[in-house]
Structure 1
Amino acid sequence: MEQRDGLVDEAFASRIEGACRTVVGDTLRSITYFTPEAFEQLYLRSDLEADADLSGFVDHESLGFRARTAYRGSELGDYEHTVRSFENGYITRVVGDEEGVFVTTDGLTMRRSEEVANALLELLD
């Protein structure tokens, strides 16, 4: 998977950032848009360094495309989003048919996670 600037046009990137900021505010750390072939980091908070292995994160989070299919028809209902908890923050991932977004934040409640996921899914549809 390759990192590509310009994968997302500026207007769409602004809508994604606006939706995330509206829900999670200043706890927003980063936003990454991805497809099965490429990714682009749309936002990185100014106090963070751009030295994360973003490619490794994207490779793992792109497995969400398979999760949509794998969980289809389960007793739990359709797959909606994934939240991962880390020592210093959280990742919320959503995927559509051919595109996805993951957002990293400092703090996150389940309610906020669902809100940011729903906002992103509306933009991806």
Structure 2
Amino acid sequence: MSEHRDLVDPSLGEQLVSACRTTVGDSLRSIVYFTPDEYEQIYLRSDLEAEADLTGWVEHEATGFRAQTAYDGTELGEYQYTLRVFENGYVTRVIDEDHGVFVTTDGITVRRSKEVTEAIGSTL
């Protein structure tokens, strides 16, 4: 897994940032676009450190590509998104075929999490 600058077309990056900022507002911390092999952080809130090592995070979130197929045909229906809850924030991951996005936020409700995943999904 490697970071790749220019992985995301600038217009797609702008659309993703706009969609996420509109949905979660100032609670948005970061946005990372990823594929099974590469990633690019396309947004980081100005009060956060840019030195975070994202490789481990992205490798873990990329396991979601397997989840898409692992859950095929279950009685629960089609996999939609993943929400992870931490002491100081939240991670919401959306995967669409061979690419995905995860956003980190300070606070988020389940309803707002669903709204941001719908905004990301329609942008991807």
Read off the aligned partner of 2:72 and give its amino acid letter: R
Query: Superposition RMSD on alpha carbons, in Å?
Result: 0.7
User: Equivalents in 2 of 1:14, 1:50: separation in Å?
Assistant: 19
Read off the aligned partner of 1:90 and give its amino acid letter: Y
Deviation per residue, 1:58-93 (Å, 9 max, x gap): 000001111110111111111000000011100000
1:2-21 equivalence runs, <5 A: 2-21=2-21
User: Equivalents in 2 of 1:117, 1:78: separation in Å?
Assistant: 14
Which residue of 2 is the match for residue 44 of structure 1?
A: 44
Which residue of 2 is the match for residue 100 of structure 1?
A: 100
Read off the aligned partner of 2:81 and give its amino acid letter: H
User: Equivalents in 2 of 1:123, 1:69: separation in Å?
Assistant: 22
User: Equivalents in 2 of 1:54, 1:28: separation in Å?
Assistant: 17
Identity %, equivalent residues: 60
Q: CA deviation at 1:51?
A: 2.5
Read off the aligned partner of 2:4 and give its amino acid letter: R
Read off the aligned partner of 2:36 and give its amino acid letter: P
User: Equivalents in 1 of 2:37, 2:11: separation in Å?
Assistant: 22
> Please, which moves more after superposition, 46-55 or 26-35?
46-55
Read off the aligned partner of 2:75 and give its amino acid letter: E
Structure 2: runs of 5 or more not aligned: none
Moved over 3 A (4+): none
Which residue of 2 is the match for residue 118 of structure 1?
A: 118
Indicate yes or no: 2:57 matched with 1:57: yes
Q: CA deviation at 1:122?
A: 1.2
Q: CA deviation at 1:52?
A: 2.1
Which residue of 2 is the match for residue 77 of structure 1?
A: 77
Structure 1: runs of 5 or more not aligned: none
Read off the aligned partner of 1:111 and give its amino acid letter: R
User: Equivalents in 1 of 2:87, 2:50: separation in Å?
Assistant: 18
Task: Report the TM-score when normalising by structure 2.
Answer: 0.98
Which residue of 2 is the match for residue 89 of structure 1?
A: 89
1:15-30 equivalence runs, <5 A: 15-30=15-30
Number of matched pairs: 124
